[in-house]
Structure formats: C-alpha cells, structure tokens
Structure 1
C-alpha cells in the first residue's frame, strides 16, 4: 500500500502508473521524457535502451521498475528475458556487444556516483563505437531512472509479484508507448 492515498486500486495501477494517475500534471512531462529516451528515434534499439533502464533499476533495487523495464526490454530484444537476466547477473560475461557493455558500465557509474564517470569510461565507449548521442542518452536514461526509482519506492507503491502483469504492460508499451 502506497504511503499516500492515490485514489486508485493499486492492484490495477501498481508502481508508477498509480502515481501518474494521482498527479496527471507531472505524469505528462515524465511520460514524455520516458517516450523520448526509450522509444524515440535512436541509434540504440528500444530494447537496448529499456535494458539500460532495467539494469539501473536493478542496481537501485527498485523491484517495480526493474521488473517492468526488464519485461519491456525482453519484449523488444531477440534474446528476450534470458539476455536481460544475463546482463543483470553479470555484465562482464553477458552476451552483449562491447559497445552496449561499455554504455551499461557508464550507466552503472551514473547510478552510484555520477561524478565518477571518467573520461576513460567515455573513451572506452567511443572506442567500441558509441556516439556522443548514445553516451549522452545513456547518462540521461540512468539519471532519469534513478529519479523514477526513487519516486516509485519513496512513495511505497505496490510492486506486483510474478511476471504476468509486467508482460501485459510490456505489450501495451511496445504497441502504444509511454504517452497512452
């Protein structure tokens, strides 16, 4: 049960979805940010960007965001949930491109202490083919998900057990995006 009365059934609107209904004035800009970062035109696939969100959310131990964005990533990656779980378990051995691994390393540092993102980390990502846009947006996705994670957990929202609800949300996000 959330720390505040959201005015919705949290089983029907868990996590951030209940918060968005509670405060639609902030829901619009937050949804627009997620839409641009995770679904807009980009050299990284939507699945790869969702994987960054899931990875950061897992490091932040935000059950709702980690589970939902893991499902969203899995729905958009050929390797599905197997790859998401491999990345979350051990980034060093996960079967992702060296470029994505370098970007995920940057995201992990942003999640901990963004001031520790070094020129060496950025150069390592560039060496693997990452563009300035990909580096920029990786940092912004990681920073945004630190905010989203704290929003969801700071208000004590419901994180459903199991995978069924997250899979249904993944289908909706893949089809309609974050603005619907």
Structure 2
C-alpha cells in the first residue's frame, strides 16, 4: 500500500507520474536520452545497467521493468539479464560491459566508491569516456528512481507478463511516446 494517496492504481513510477505529472516529462526525457538515444552502447545494454542497479537496490518494480526492457532488446533475452543479476563475474558478457556494470555497482554503493581502478579497467576493455559517463549517470539516476518508487511504497506487480507487455511498447515508441499515450488518456 503506497504511503500517500496516489489516486491511481498504476504501479511503480507510473502512479507517481500520475500524482505529480509535472515531474513526468523531465524524468522521462532524462531516461529517453540515457537509455534510447544514439550511443555506442545498445539500448539493451543500457537497460541492463538500469536493471542491474535496480537489482542491487532491491527495487522490485524497477528491476522487473528494466529487466524486461533489456531482455526485449538483447539477443540472449531474460536468461542473460538473470545471469548478470546472479553473478556478474560469470555472466557471458563482454569485458567492456562487465567493467561498466562494475562501475554502475560502485555508483550504487556511493559515488565516491568509483575509483581510478574501476575507470582504468573499463578503459582497458575499450570503454570510451562517453560510455563511462553515461554508465555513471544511468546508475545514479536509477538509484534516485529506485528510492523514489520504494520510498513511497508504490505497487509492484508480481506477474512478469505485466512487465513484458510494457517492454514491447517501450521498444517500439520509447519512454516519451508511452508517456504521451498515458497522458492523453487522462
């Protein structure tokens, strides 16, 4: 049960966007830039970073959402997402992505936990400054989103199909497109 009356039965951050719609657009714009705009990291890889940080933060709604979005955009699907969540070191991913996820994990612990060793390891695996920057920003943003969603005790569906259905829409029209559709129904 949410800590405040949201006047919506929409789960997670969607209910919060309904409660305070003036925050919805700028937050969705940030996510659209970080996870969907042109980048040398694929949208699936960037969604995987968001899912990984959300898993570390134990944010059930955000993890399940972004795990589904990553799975829909990665050839290995949910199996890979779950492997990364269970054991980053053993997951069958590139050295570069592993190093970037390690940076994201350090950010989740606290910004000062990211050290020269982490950045050097990522660079040695071929990560660019932009990829390192975006990884840190994705991780920091998702720490905020996770705390926003869980701090107000929003609803988190338990059926993975709920998240998978939304993943198809995110892949096809993006965060801003989905927000526009949602706002047009009010």
Match of residue 90 from structure 1 = 87
Query: How far apart in 2 are the matches of 1:171 and 1:23?
Result: 25
User: Unaligned regions of 5+ residues in structure 1, if any?
Assistant: none
* 1:53 Cα deviation from its structure 2 partner: 0.2
**SS class of match (1:179):** helix
* 1:67 Cα deviation from its structure 2 partner: 0.4
Match of residue 182 from structure 2 = none
Query: How far apart in 1 are the matches of 2:161 and 2:3?
Result: 25
**SS class of match (2:146):** helix
- Runs of 4 or more, structure 1, over 2 Å off, are none
Query: How far apart in 2 are the matches of 1:169 and 1:23?
Result: 21
**SS class of match (1:3):** coil
User: Unaligned regions of 5+ residues in structure 2, if any?
Assistant: 178-186
Query: How far apart in 2 are the matches of 1:65 and 1:75?
Result: 15
Aligned length: 177
Match of residue 20 from structure 2 = 23
Root mean square deviation of aligned Cα:
0.6
Q: For each residue in 1:108-150, what CA deviation from the matched residue of structure 2 results, as whole angstroms up to 9, or x when unmatched? A: 0000021011111101100000000000000000000000000
Q: TM-score, normalised by structure 2?
A: 0.94
**Corresponding residue to 1:167 among 151, 164, 169:** 164
Query: How far apart in 1 are the matches of 2:56 and 2:113?
Result: 16
Match of residue 6 from structure 2 = 6
